[in-house]
Structure 1
Amino acid sequence: MTGGFLAASLLVSLGAPARAATTLPAPAHVVVVIEENHTLAQIENTPSARYMNSLFRHGALFTNAHGVTHPSLPNYLALFAGQMNTNGDDCPEVGVSRNAPNLATALRAQGRSFVGYADAMPSAGFTGCWAGTYARKHAPWVEFANVPASSSLPFTALRSYDALPTVAFVIPDVEHDMHDGTIAQADNWLSTHIAPLVAWAKTHDTLVILTWDEGYDSDNDIPTVFIGPMVKPGRYGEHVDHLRFLRTIEALYGLPTLGRSGKVAPIADCWVR
């Protein structure tokens, strides 16, 4: 699939004034990498987060990014389907239909593709709640019966970037996402496994999104950075969250809005024109 551009109408937050249409990129691929439980202040300029800070300096860093709630799983579901469950991190989730529309089904309906890659997942299509350092609550696509096993893979299955789907989620395990491990462990994992992808993305029309699920401060502040050849580097202070990240992916590919994402606007100001 080749990159290009499509016209996308900006949907606006409820009660906000209407905005003019804008033009958003349509990357060949989007890869979303999700870390855990830290604020921007805990990561930015921290010596043990050297690689993450290099991404912050060279990408579009959103300095007013937030999780939508607590704890982990509802944030992942908001980013994947625009919905939130009602039983926290309990497994299986309650409150979102197993057959609800989601990014995977929306992409498939347009002839596009989705794969979730989870570090330490023991096998393709695994539906257990835990397996060693793998946690289902961090792999939102597993909650949906309409996402096939072929779209739910261990991270080790990603052997060639040329085989990337249209949209991929990459989920480090709990030792490498800062849930149980340290900032340094997460930074080392990213520099080993994601740095080659970021380098490849620069010449292969690919957008990489590095974000977090939630932050433990009063504002639920999280770091988020967009990296890719279509991104205009800089610091962006607008309020963004998981629903806006989902809405942006929908707008990039002309997908229907999912759940609550229909009430927010895509991110429109960080793109190279």
Structure 2
Amino acid sequence: MRWTPALLAAAALPVLASSVAASAPLPRPDHVVVVVMENKRYDAVIGHARTPYISALARRGANFTAAYGETHPSQPNYLALFSGSTQGVTDNSCLRRPFDAPNLGRQLLDAGLTFTGYAEALPSAGYTGCASGTYVRRHNPWVDFASVPASLNRPLSALPAGWDELPSVAFVVPDLCHDMHDCPKGDADAWMRRELGSYADWATAHNSLLILTFDEDNGTDGNHIPTVVLGAGVRPGDRVERVDHYAILRTIEDAYGLPPLGAAAQATPLRLG
């Protein structure tokens, strides 16, 4: 057989179709849970002996090997993830006056969807104080925006017992021990399995996503952080393209048909399919 241009093009069609299918957007998820942990470089978590559960999640889902935080220290990274901007914040000082700025929580509510932030050790729903025990406000970005109702700032104990009762998007922030900030990372790994292991299993069968990311690294690897996505339609495997918190925000906004906020408008969504 002589391979004419027409035959070559025809032979390539299955490959092209497969490539298109692999990069096609996922269906709109019923639920997205975003978990944010603290101050660990990529190789201190993914594949590390002390974090076997999170490493297993990375093998089961999309493991972003080139994910990076925006800056140091913690607080501006949380704001970037939630609003597409660091809002000019450059430190961890308690923000006593909320921003009047667009944010993911308000976007979801305005679109007829739902949002709730769950913070471990938050002393009471709607609490706006700077710190209480192992809770710190600097890791809780939704409390920093005036347009997000205080009633949606809830303690982790309010997380629904049935995963189908979750809001459209939930942020889950562990306390200073279970986010790897103050305690051994093995404690955080066990916490992740205990608190969200059943959700990770449930999400794949129920058109939902789990996103685990970190705010920043420990200052030793160019702000290289772990980021893993698991759930319905997510193709397991490593993703080598560079991504950041703005890409995560863009992914959630695209999933629900929301306009991208701030720097998320220039970010490429995470490649999940």
TM-score interval w.r.t. the shorter chain?
A: 0.7 to 0.9
- TM-score, normalising length: structure 1: 0.87
Q: Does 1:199 align with 2:201?
A: yes
Tell me if structure 1 keeps the 8 A contact 2:26–2:233: no
d(CA) in 2 for partners of 1:241, 1:168: 19
Which residues of 2 match residues 33-72 of structure 1 at below 5 A?
33-72=35-74
Which residues of 2 match residues 130-149 of structure 1 at below 5 A?
130-149=131-150
- Deviation for aligned residue 1:264: 1.6
* Structure-1 residue corresponding to 2:272: 270
Q: Which has the larger radius of gyration?
A: 2
User: Which of 159, 178, 198 lines up with 1:176 in the alignment?
Assistant: 178
Q: 1:64 to 1:87 in 2, by over 3 A?
A: closer
Tell me if structure 2 keeps the 8 A contact 1:38–1:222: yes
- Deviation for aligned residue 1:221: 0.2
Gaps of 5+ in 1: 1-20
* Structure-1 residue corresponding to 2:126: 125
User: Which of 232, 237, 240 lines up with 1:237 in the alignment?
Assistant: 240
Deviations, residues 136-191 of structure 1 (Å, cap 9, x unaligned) = 11110010111112211001001322221111100000010011111111011111
Number of equivalenced pairs: 248
d(CA) in 2 for partners of 1:111, 1:238: 33
- TM-score, normalising length: structure 2: 0.87
Amino acid at match of 1:81: S
More helix by share: 2
d(CA) in 2 for partners of 1:195, 1:113: 23
Gaps of 5+ in 2: 1-22
- Deviation for aligned residue 1:93: 6.5
User: Which of 88, 93, 99 lines up with 1:90 in the alignment?
Assistant: 93
User: Which of 215, 220, 223 lines up with 1:217 in the alignment?
Assistant: 220
**SS of the residue 2:211 aligns to:** strand
Tell me if structure 2 keeps the 8 A contact 1:211–1:223: yes
Deviations, residues 81-134 of structure 1 (Å, cap 9, x unaligned) = 00103241110168xx61211001111111001100000001111000100000
d(CA) in 1 for partners of 2:61, 2:28: 18
**SS of the residue 1:53 aligns to:** helix
Q: Does 1:246 align with 2:243?
A: no
Q: 1:93 to 1:63 in 2, by over 3 A?
A: farther
d(CA) in 2 for partners of 1:125, 1:165: 17
